[in-house]
Amino acid sequence: MLLLWVSVVAVSSALAAPAPGTGAQRRGAAGAPNVVLVVSDSFDGRLTFHPGSQVVKLPFINLMKAHGTSFLNAYTNSPICCPSRAAMWSGLFTHLTESWNNFKGLDPNYTTWMDVMEKHGYRTQKFGKLDYTSGHHSISNRVEAWTRDVAFLLRQEGRPMVNLIRNKTKVRVMEKDWKNTDKAINWLKTEAINYTEPFVLYLGLNLPHPYPSPSSGENFGSSTFHTSLYWLERVSRDAIKIPKWLPLSEMHPVDYYSSYTKNCTGKFTEKEIKNIRAFYYAMCAETDAMLGEIILALRQLDLLQKTIVIYFSDHGELAMEHRQFYKMSMYEASVHVPLLIMGPGIKANQQVSNVVSLVDIYPTMLGKKSHIEISLLIYCYWEYKLIQIF
Ligand SMILES: *[C@@H]1O[C@H](CO)[C@@H](O)[C@H](O)[C@H]1NC(C)=O
Ligand SMILES: *[C@@H]1O[C@H](CO)[C@@H](O)[C@H](O)[C@H]1NC(C)=O
Ligand SMILES: *[C@@H]1O[C@H](CO)[C@@H](O)[C@H](O)[C@H]1NC(C)=O
Ligand SMILES: *[C@@H]1O[C@H](CO)[C@@H](O)[C@H](O)[C@H]1NC(C)=O
């Protein structure tokens, strides 16, 4: 309660005295900075601050931390792809989108923040993974995520495992993501560079989501943590913690059920668990490198000074904590997401501990004043309001 009150005071004083040069009356996009969003999948937010940050080298996330503002308590609104993304694109909580699983998201004609920005004069472009509308994934996704208690889906996932690529120096392991990164950079170089209006670019990455495991039988899922030595070398094995597990008999039935359907109730050696975690962190390093390519391209094109860069993820990854992998759980590894923002008007080297979530992205993009955390985000840390429409 006290925290809320303090927040309100902070917001009202910020409202009463807007920083000079904020363009508070501005309508429409003219003169506003560009916005580039890099959005990954399954990235455990705890890796972006101490002590999680010790386990893997993430040079571009560190760069964003140094030159921008990072949120230490950013959470997903639902720890699974579609529901999380539906909340982020709509600014609505899950009980309002009624997107409970990967089958149902937003209607394809839903007006997202990007549509609103486009209407107000921004050029917009999206590349890569979106996953926020209805009808994707399989029909089984209607029931599997939270209520797997149906015979044909029991233990549908393969056991989590690692797969090391033979080529030691392979950089582009997740080729599809790299291709989308290249496309985004090419768009910056050939299109965005010539725009007189500001632009909004969205790049959706699939990493560090585990890869499909077709060798695991008919109902295989994505249980393979896959990388090359090139990325594994960024991981400090000694810093990897082995999570403590309860004996199976003492697990809460819900956790046991999750663990069971994720094929994690068998025996795992400590080495196996450490490997899975190391491979996952290596996949996070590859994700960071793609974020880096975008930042470097912006710099090379002289756009970095007038572009707000935002990085976040749809949810986290348990990576064998609580005897599980994947997400679909309210434990920290699954719900804590990274959120970093840098660019003109955003404080450098600033760490914010207020709780924020992915629904805050929508009003933040639109400069709407309502929710406390959103307001904090906008009025305390954003000198620029992207557009003033509310
Ligand atoms: C969007 O599409 C849905 C069907 O998918 C329809 O019911 C709804 O009326 C449409 N909304 C608008 C604003 O066009
Ligand atoms: C667990 O995964 C392994 C291989 O990954 C698979 O062979 C096995 O059938 C799975 N177990 C169950 C009960 O589904
Ligand atoms: C290994 O990967 C590197 C970097 O991606 C590449 O240049 C090289 O050709 C690959 N080697 C083989 C044998 O595929
Ligand atoms: C963008 O501008 C450059 C010169 O600055 C020009 O060479 C190029 O053709 C332009 N591209 C487009 C797509 O208009």
- Domain range annotation of the chain: 32-381
Measured from CB, residues less than 6 Å from any atom of ligand 1 are 107, 109
Q: Is residue 190 in contact with ligand 4, taking CB distance under 6 Å? A: yes
Q: How far is the C-alpha of 343 from the C-alpha of 307, rounded, in Å?
A: 6
Question: 186-201 pLDDT, tens per residue?
Answer: 999 999 999 999 999 9
For residue 43, what are its two tokens?
């990235």
Separation of CA 167 and ligand 3 centre (Å): 6
Mind spelling out the 3-state secondary structure of 164-190?
A: ECCCCCCCCCCHHHHHHHHHHHHHHHH
Q: How far is the C-alpha of 113 from the C-alpha of 35, rounded, in Å?
A: 12
- The fold of the 32-381 domain, in CATH, is Alkaline Phosphatase, subunit A (3.40.720)
165, 166, 167, 231, best to mutate for ligand 3 pocket (most atoms within 8 Å of CB): 167
Question: 257-296 pLDDT, tens per residue?
Answer: 889 888 999 999 999 999 999 999 999 999 999 999 999 9
State the pLDDT at residue 22. 37
Helix (H) / strand (E) element for 115: namely helix 113-119
The ligand placed nearest to the CA atom of residue 104 is: 1
For residue 193, the ligand 4 atom closest to its alpha carbon is 1
Separation of CA 263 and ligand 2 centre (Å): 6
- Give yes or no for residue 97 having a pLDDT over 50: yes
pTM: 0.87
119 versus 14: the higher-pLDDT residue is: 119
Measured from CB, residues less than 6 Å from any atom of ligand 3 are 167, 169-172
pLDDT confidence bin for 163, thresholds 50/70/90: very high
Q: How far is the C-alpha of 288 from the C-alpha of 38, rounded, in Å?
A: 10
Highest mean pLDDT among 22-26, 117-121, 140-144: 117-121
Q: How far is the C-alpha of 381 from the C-alpha of 341, rounded, in Å?
A: 9
142 versus 63: the higher-pLDDT residue is: 63
For residue 171, what are its two tokens?
């950089």
State the pLDDT at residue 48. 98
Catalytic site includes residue 81: yes
Question: 200-227 pLDDT, tens per residue?
Answer: 999 999 999 999 988 887 767 899 999 9
For residue 266, the ligand 2 atom closest to its alpha carbon is 1
State the pLDDT at residue 1. 25
Nearest CA to ligand 4 atom 1: 194
For residue 111, the ligand 1 atom closest to its alpha carbon is 13
Spell out the residues 6+ positions from residue 388 whose beta carbon is closer than 8 angstroms to its own: 24, 25, 26, 27, 367
Taking the CA atoms of residue 165, residue 136, residue 312 and residue 264 in that order, the dihedral angle to the nearest 10 degrees is -50
Place of tokens 């889906």: 153
- Give yes or no for residue 373 having a pLDDT over 70: no
Question: 317-351 pLDDT, tens per residue?
Answer: 999 999 999 999 999 999 999 999 999 888 899 99
- Give yes or no for residue 171 having a pLDDT over 70: yes
**77-88 mean pLDDT:** 95
| Of 81, 82, 264, 284, catalytic | 81
> For residue 211, what is the DSSP state?
B
Question: 296-326 pLDDT, tens per residue?
Answer: 999 999 999 999 999 999 999 999 999 999 9
How buried is residue 261: exposed, middle or buried, by Cβ count under 10 Å (0-12/13-18/19+)? buried
C-beta atoms surrounding 179 within 10 Å: 13
55 versus 11: the higher-pLDDT residue is: 55
pLDDT confidence bin for 356, thresholds 50/70/90: confident
Separation of CA 148 and ligand 1 centre (Å): 30
3-state helix, strand, coil in the chain (%, to 5): 40, 15, 45
State the pLDDT at residue 28. 59
